[in-house]
Each structure stands twice: as structure tokens, then as C-alpha cells.
């Protein structure tokens, strides 16, 4: 069933709730919607990672799939700028062409010296903020030596955005809004306001969970700064009501009676003056039709069959059954919990040994952070233990591919599986769950979804598991696999209908509608410069 309207529409101003946003189904609808509100005014997007990978000699490729590709496609069609930290070689400025007749956009790439980048990315963003907001308190690093790098990179990104707006060579641009993304860049808005000048509406999207304020314990010293940074935006989007409400609780715990909230607007009296902003709820999604098509396409199915055969999981053979999981090698994804779940599954029903393996697609990530390196080693050890204990001849219970796969291959792998395990201990949303459901497209393989994900909080009718309780989760998985096929198919059909309604294009429109329909004029200084 669709998420209740109160969840899905919570971020949209009252007057726009019956707007065409709810009818957006595809990229064409999104472009049309954007033009209706913004005319030919461009959009400016700011992210930590850039949307393309430079391959040399004016040649670049798009990384596979994901939200950044959806934003990329919109920008290609409506025109604008994208500011990001440089990930690969090539010039500081790349012109990304649009399709026939489309304006394309300019990518402004910020070069950051390696030591500074390390403090920002490995140090504060992924060594402090990520574990803090994923409730992994034991993994939080020392902030004192890396907070300065985070501030500095945020300041430089803000400077780059302002340079991009003013750039004389192109006569400057006047975007209708600026859209900044994620925990790596929380302070960019505030830094832009500090630097002064006229700014269009500033929107921000916080992609990861927001933790509940620790009752009794003093908040970490940096939290006030990060929260105050977020207050500089005109809109801050969250994945779920829970995260938005926790953010509000945090603001109240830090600002007390200097903060008030009327259900739409949060007002806070800060050292920078009175801030008024809209904290919205916009659950992110996928393009379900794209995944449905890819799941059927022989161009992906044929390589998927041969990949499975190479892994000893040939489709249609008695030993070819598998549950699939697809996650970056991140402790928040619950790899160890998943292995315990598989162990409990085999212990409870030994007949599954030799018939149902775990295929985990697990590309390494953030190896510059020690906690990630240690975790990857531990997962490898535990996978080997399980393989030693339950292997039968050539068959192994855990097959790991430590690389990312193109969605065109992933989608048939989802479709050919017996089910999908999502065991994240905390997750802002979890798009693998949505990709899997979309790829079922009439199939009956069930999704087993951690209740600690944004997807579990915003979609109904799914089989929820708790990675903290592998024994209970294993029983839920066994029951789900044994469930009548027609019931499983009908659940998947319902989920697909929900995803088609709440797709990624609509998510973008929900984020853009408030700032784009703001009555504030571009060119008007929205905030006085701080004293």
C-alpha cells in the first residue's frame, strides 16, 4: 500500500499539495514541472562527489545509476551548474553536453589538497558524522583534529559556488535555487551567507539518518556548529518523519526557547539573526520502470546467467538458489548480522544447505577510514568460517563479489534470486530494497527488509526483519520463503505500484517545489550579513 499522504506530502506547502507533483511519473514530467515553475532559470547543485568520472582526453563516463544520475539528467535538460569536489583528473571545469536541443550544464570541480581532503572526508565526514548519525558510538573518531578540515572544505566549496555564480567569462548565472547535498557539506549554506551578497533560495537534503538526542549525556562539542550550519538553509529535507522530528528535537535541545515550530516553519533565533526554514520530509526513491525494463532485458540477463554459473549458482539447478544482498562494505549495512542470520537459517533447516546460498555484492568503500578496513577484514573472516562449516563439495553458502555491478546486470540478478536480504543496522532510506522490488516485475521473490531503514518506515506491506535478532530474522525469512507464491506475487505487485507513484522524479519535484515557488526574488539579499 502507498505510504500515508501525511508522510509523503509532509514537506510540501499546503497550497501545493494538490499540485502536479503527485502526478510525476517520469523524467519528462519532471522537466515539464521544473519549467512551469522556473521557466528558463538554471539550477545549481552542490555535492561532495562529482557526477561523472574523467577518463582523459575530454572523455568522461557516468558512474552507474543512482540518485546523482537522476539529478544529472535533469540538469542536462534544464541547464545550470554542478559544483563538486574533484574525484578524478582533467580540467577544473567540464562542459557536460545535454541531448539534442538541451542546454547541458557546467561542472565546476574543486581541487582540495590531499591532507585537507583526508581530514574532511575520512576524518570528520566518515570518521565522526557517519558513525554518529548511524548510532555506531564505538566507532566515532576524535573530532578535535579533523573538524577544522571539514570547516575549511565547506568554506572552499561555498567560495567555489559564489565564484561560479559571479564568473565573468560566462556573465555569471542567476539560478532559481541552489541545492546542496548531504552530511559532508552541512556548513556550505552558512559559509555562503557569511561571504555575503545576493543568494537565491538555498535547499539542502540530508540523505542519512538523524539520531535521537542522547538523553542526559552532553551533546558532542561539534553538534551545535553542524546544526547551526543547517539552519542557514531555507529548506532542509529528511528521508522520514522520524529523522525530521529528531532533528527538531535536537534543535530544541540545543536552542531551547529560542526555537519554535508551527508544523511548516522552524524559527530559531541564532547568533546570525532570526532563521526561518522549512524542515521537510521527502523519502528518496528509484526509477522503477527503468529497473523493470532492465530485469527483462536479454542484454543484462545473458551476462547475469553466466556470472551466476561462474559462481556455482547456475539458474534452474538444485544448487542454484540464492538470496541476494547488495551493499557497500560498510558496518552500517549489517554484514556480520546477515552472516549470523544465514547461520541460524542453516541450523534451523539443514535441508537448505547445498540449496540456498547468500550472494553478496559488496564493493569496498572508504578504505582510508580505519574502521572500514577493520570491518572488511572481520566480514571476510566470518564469511570464511561459514564457508568452512557449511560447504558441500563445490557448493559454498557465501559467495562474495567485492566489486560494484552495473544496474543492467544487477537487475536480472535481483529477478533471478529467491529473495533479497537487507540487514542495515541504520539506513537513511535503502534504495537496494526499492530496486529489488521494482526488478521483481511480476516475480515472487520476497524482500526481507531491516526495520531500521527509511524504506521500512515509509512503505507498507513488507516483511520486516531485525538484524539485531538474527534468530528471529531467520525464522521470518524461512516463513517468507515458504509462503504461498500468489501472496508473494501480490505483495510485490503492490510494492511496485507504490514505487511507481513515489518515484525518484517525484522525490526531486518535492524537494524543488518549495524553493522554486518561493516568492523571494533572486537578486534580493535574503539575509543580512552577520555582524
- Residue 441 near residue 296, CB atoms below 8 Å: yes
By CB under 6 A, name the one of 50, 108, 182, 498 that touches ligand G6P.
Answer: 182
Q: Which of residues 347-386 bind ligand G6P (CB under 6 A)?
A: 365-366
Identify each DSSP E strand in 17-64 by its residue range.
43-47, 53-56, 59-61
Q: Which of residues 390-429 bind ligand G6P (CB under 6 A)?
A: 428
- Report the nearest approach of ligand G6P to the CB of residue 500 (Å): 23
- Report the nearest approach of ligand G6P to the CB of residue 340 (Å): 24
Between 260 and 365, CB nearer to ligand G6P: 365
- Report the nearest approach of ligand G6P to the CB of residue 66 (Å): 8
- Report the nearest approach of ligand G6P to the CB of residue 518 (Å): 26
User: Of the candidates 478, 504, 479, 277, which has an alpha carbon nearest to the alpha carbon of residue 407?
Assistant: 504
- Report the nearest approach of ligand G6P to the CB of residue 206 (Å): 8
- Report the nearest approach of ligand G6P to the CB of residue 114 (Å): 16
- Residue 126 near residue 369, CB atoms below 8 Å: yes
Q: Cα separation of 66 and 51, whole Å? A: 10
Between 158 and 180, CB nearer to ligand G6P: 180
Between 108 and 327, CB nearer to ligand G6P: 327
Between 398 and 420, CB nearer to ligand G6P: 420
Q: Cα separation of 209 and 193, whole Å? A: 26
Between 134 and 415, CB nearer to ligand G6P: 134
The dihedral through the CA atoms of 107, 113, 116, 119 has a sign that is positive
- Residue 43 near residue 508, CB atoms below 8 Å: no
What φ, ψ does residue 86 adopt, rounded to 5°? -70, 130
- Report the nearest approach of ligand G6P to the CB of residue 72 (Å): 15
CB-based burial label for 455 (10 Å; 0-12, 13-18, 19+): buried
- Report the nearest approach of ligand G6P to the CB of residue 255 (Å): 26
Q: Which of residues 457-516 bind ligand G6P (CB under 6 A)?
A: none
Between 49 and 493, CB nearer to ligand G6P: 49
Between 365 and 494, CB nearer to ligand G6P: 365
- Residue 365 near residue 372, CB atoms below 8 Å: yes
Between 139 and 301, CB nearer to ligand G6P: 139
Over the range 382-413, which residues count as b (16 or more CB within 10 Å of their CB) and which as e?
bbeebbeebeeeebbbbbbeeebbebbbbbbb
CA dihedral 36, 37, 41, 42 (to 10 degrees): -100
Between 209 and 470, CB nearer to ligand G6P: 209
Between 206 and 448, CB nearer to ligand G6P: 206
Q: Nearest to ligand G6P by Cβ — which residue? A: 207
**Does residue 49 interact with ligand G6P by CB under 6 A?**
yes
- Report the nearest approach of ligand G6P to the CB of residue 366 (Å): 5
**Does residue 319 interact with ligand G6P by CB under 6 A?**
no
- Report the nearest approach of ligand G6P to the CB of residue 222 (Å): 19
Contact string (CB under 6 A) for ligand G6P, positions 207-236, x = contact = xx----------------------------
Applying CB under 6 A, the site for ligand G6P has a residue count of 7
Can you name the residues that pair with 360 across neighbouring β-strands? 325, 400
CB-based burial label for 356 (10 Å; 0-12, 13-18, 19+): buried
**Does residue 327 interact with ligand G6P by CB under 6 A?**
no
- What does the chain come to in residues? 531
- Relative to beta strand 447-450, strand 463-465 is parallel
DSSP H or E segment with residue 71: helix 67-78
Interface contacts to ligand G6P, rule CB under 6 A = 49, 182, 207-208, 365-366, 428
Amino acid at each position: 500500500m502507498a505510504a500515508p499522504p501525511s508522510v509523503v506530502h509532509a514537506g510540501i506547502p499546503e497550497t501545493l499539495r494538490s499540485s502536479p507533483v503527485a502526478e510525476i511519473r517520469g523524467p519528462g514530467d519532471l522537466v515539464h514541472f521544473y519549467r512551469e515553475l522556473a521557466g528558463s532559470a538554471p539550477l545549481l547543485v552542490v555535492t561532495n562527489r562529482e557526477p561523472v568520472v574523467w577518463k582523459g582526453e575530454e572523455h568522461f563516463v557516468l558512474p552507474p545509476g543512482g540518485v546523482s544520475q537522476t539529478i544529472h539528467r535533469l540538469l542536462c535538460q534544464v541547464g545550470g551548474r554542478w559544483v563538486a569536489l574533484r574525484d578524478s583528473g582533467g580540467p577544473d571545469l567540464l562542459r557536460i553536453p545535454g541531448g539534442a536541443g538541451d542546454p547541458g550544464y557546467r561542472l565546476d570541480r574543486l581541487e582540495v589538497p590531499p591532507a585537507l581532503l583526508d581530514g574532511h572526508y575520512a576524518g570528520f565526514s566518515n570518521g565522526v558524522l557517519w558513525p554518529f548519525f548511524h548510532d555506531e558510538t564505538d566507532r566515532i573518531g576524535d573530532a578535535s583534529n579533523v573538524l577544522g578540515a571539514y570547516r575549511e572544505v565547506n568554506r572552499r566549496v561555498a567560495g567555489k559556488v559564489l565564484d561560479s555564480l559571479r564568473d565573468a567569462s560566462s556573465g555569471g548565472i542567476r539560478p532559481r535555487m541552489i541545492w546542496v547535498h548531504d552530511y559532508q557539506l552541512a556548513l556550505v549554506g552558512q559559509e555562503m551567507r557569511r561571504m555575503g551578497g545576493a543568494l537565491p533560495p538555498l535547499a539542502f537534503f540530508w540523505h542519512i539518518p538523524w539520531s535521537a538526542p542522547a538523553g542526559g549525556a552532553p551533546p558532542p562539542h561539534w553538534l551545535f556548529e553542524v546544526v547551526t550550519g543547517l539552519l542557514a538553509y531555507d529548506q532542509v529535507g529528511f528521508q522520514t518523519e522520524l529523522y525530521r522530528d529528531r532533528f527538531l528535537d535536537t534543535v530544541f535541545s540545543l536552542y531551547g526557547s529560542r526555537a519554535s515550530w508551527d508544523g511548516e516553519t522552524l524559527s530559531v533565533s541564532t547568533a546570525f539573526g532570526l532563521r526561518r526554514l522549512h524542515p521537510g520530509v521527502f523519502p528518496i526513491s528509484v526509477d522503477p520502470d527503468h529497473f523493470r525494463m532492465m530485469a527483462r532485458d536479454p542484454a543484462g540477463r545473458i551476462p547475469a546467467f553466466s556470472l551466476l554459473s561462474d559462481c556455482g549458482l547456475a539458474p534452474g539447478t538444485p544448487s542454484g538458489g540464492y538470496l541476494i544482498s547488495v551493499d557497500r562494505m560498510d558496518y552500517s549495512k549489517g554484514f556480520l548480522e546477515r552472516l549470523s542470520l544465514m547461520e541460524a537459517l542453516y541450523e534451523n533447516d539443514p535441508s537448505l544447505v547445498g540449496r540456498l546460498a547468500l550472494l553478496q555484492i559488496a564493493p569496498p568503500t572508504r578504505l582510508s577510514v580505519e574502521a572500514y578496513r577493520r570491518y572488511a577484514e572481520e566480514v571476510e573472516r566470518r564469511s570464511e568460517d561459514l564457508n568452512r562449516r557449511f560447504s558441500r563439495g563445490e557448493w559454498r553458502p557465501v559467495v562474495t563479489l567485492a566489486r560494484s555491478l552495473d544496474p543492467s546486470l544487477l537487475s536480472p540478478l535481483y529477478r533471478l534470486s529467491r529473495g533479497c536480504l537487507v540487514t542495515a543496522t541504520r539506513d537513511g532510506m535503502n534504495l537496494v530494497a526499492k530496486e529489488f522490488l521494482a526488478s521483481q516485475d511480476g516475480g515472487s521473490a520476497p524482500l526481507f527488509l531491516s526495520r531500521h531503514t527509511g524504506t521500512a518506515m515509509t512503505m507498507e506491506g513488507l516483511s520486516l526483519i531485525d538484524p539485531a535478532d538474527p534468530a528471529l530474522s531467520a525464522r521470518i525469512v524461512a516463513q517468507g520463503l515458504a509462503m504461498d507464491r500468489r501472496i508473494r506475487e501480490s505483495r510485490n505487485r503492490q510494492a511496485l505500484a507504490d514505487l511507481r507513484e513515489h518515484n525518484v522524479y517525484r522525490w526531486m519535484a518535492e524537494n524543488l517545489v518549495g524553493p522554486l515557488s518561493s516568492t523571494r526574488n533572486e537578486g534580493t539579499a535574503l539575509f543580512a550579513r552577520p555582524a
